[in-house]
Amino acid sequence: MSRPPSQRAPLLWGAFVLVHVVIVLLALYGPGNPLGDVAVVYRGWADGLRNGTIVGIDAPFVYPILAMLPISAALALGDALYLYTWFLLVTLCDAAAFFMLVRGLHPHRVRVAWWWLLFQLLLGPIALARIDSITVPVTIIGLLWLGSRPFWGTALLVLATWVKIWPAAVIAALFVVWPQRWRMLLLASAISLGIVVVALVLGSGRNVVSFVTAQTARGIQIEAPVAGFWMWLTALRVPASSLYYDRDILTFQVAGPGVDVASALMTPLMALMAICVVLLGARATRAGAAFVTVFPPLVLALTVTLIAFNKVGSPQFMAWLAAPIILGLVWHGAAWRTPATLALVIAALTQLVYPYFYDWLLVADPTLVFVLSVRNLLEFVLLGWAVRELWSYDRRGERSLTNSLQT
């Protein structure tokens, strides 16, 4: 027997607060060190404002320029409270998306909200301790608004992309299958042009687009799926394979035969695979599949492509999965049970590896390499599910079109 709305709301919001408190406590007091980026890197960039140095304006930046807004906003309550202000800011963003999701307390959406809370809890500290923690709820709101407020939904997606580039997958999917694609493209171009012009006026020069090339020369991060080959070589103590810390990129990477070639090929391969996914979406649309049918799996497939074929394997990438899966669950319900379950397992394995047993991974412990390999394999399973959905929708559309022509 379902609870009446008067009881569901306090329970939902109580669970929301509890989950976020637990994650914050794990980040502050749990094993490992999940707060390095926020406490050191982000805070360093924010402190640079006092010295008149704004990354993205006065110096190259690894993120799009709007990332500095939340990074600097976390200074609002002072240096000593930077971490706590960051957690408050992220929690407020999550609360806004959660409110949009559960507004009206429709039982179906309430179930999706419970899934998101479980996903965040399983993902752990990394769900709140990276710049991605800002873009995920903003992207969720943008996706939920596409039906009722397409202008504002599109605007939020574009702004999120100028914080961290991954929501570009959503914009690409919109351009492929949305009937209002040209309006969307015009709006996205206008917002992007406005951001670039403001940055240029502030004296950014080429730094405003430095995020495009800032990480192209980096090696292969140990958590990336492509790194699995060298991780196993290192775990089995094969000579010439090892792990090292790149002090320029501030991350651990793999070394060994063929690494440089693989590193150079990964970005073109990721682009090629994204093009293939886009073509599948376009083909399904041309075959007669509806926007509501094609869009969710296309967003999921493009998002997972950005993860699975990336030479950067940062654990926070898994947080991206929440947005397309919430969209699929809201629009299609139980039909998205499989990807929703896969995402929960991926989140749990990610938290197990980072931050709790990350030290074991740094010495290529075979058990942790196995856990990471399973997590990475599940990314491709998830991608396969999304691609299959795109393909099957395409075939259905073709059969429907054929039947109509025959009658």
Q: Which residues of 327-344 are buried (b: 16+ CB within 10 A; e: fewer)?
A: bbbbeeeeebeebbebbb
**226 and 173 part of one domain:** no
Residue 53 in tokens = 């140095």
pLDDT truncated to tens, each residue of the chain (407 aa)? Answer: 455 555 678 899 999 999 999 999 999 999 988 999 999 999 999 998 888 889 999 999 999 999 999 999 999 999 999 999 999 999 999 999 999 999 988 999 999 999 999 999 999 999 999 999 999 999 999 999 998 899 999 999 999 999 999 999 999 999 999 988 999 999 999 999 999 999 999 999 999 999 887 767 789 999 999 999 999 999 999 999 999 999 887 899 999 999 999 999 999 999 999 999 999 999 999 988 999 999 999 999 999 999 999 999 999 999 999 999 999 999 999 999 999 999 999 999 999 999 999 999 999 999 999 999 999 999 999 999 999 999 986 454 444 333 433 33
For tokens 């376009």, the residue is 282
**322 and 240 part of one domain:** yes
**244 and 291 part of one domain:** yes
Residue 136 lies in a domain: yes
**172 and 246 part of one domain:** no
Residue 368 lies in a domain: yes
What pLDDT was estimated at residue 205? 93
**183 and 229 part of one domain:** no
**226 and 142 part of one domain:** no
**245 and 362 part of one domain:** yes
What pLDDT was estimated at residue 402? 37
Residue 206 lies in a domain: no
**225 and 119 part of one domain:** no
Residue 386 in tokens = 């999304």
Residue 270 lies in a domain: yes
What pLDDT was estimated at residue 218? 84
Residue 207 lies in a domain: no
From 190, 207, 231, give the residue that closes a domain: 190
**272 and 382 part of one domain:** yes
Residue 197 lies in a domain: no
What pLDDT was estimated at residue 400? 39
**399 and 314 part of one domain:** yes
- The total number of structural domains that make up the chain: 2
Residue 200 lies in a domain: no
**79 and 157 part of one domain:** yes
**144 and 96 part of one domain:** yes
From 132, 156, 190, give the residue that closes a domain: 190
- Which residue range is the domain that position 26 belongs to? 1-190
What pLDDT was estimated at residue 151? 93
Residue 31 lies in a domain: yes
What pLDDT was estimated at residue 396? 46
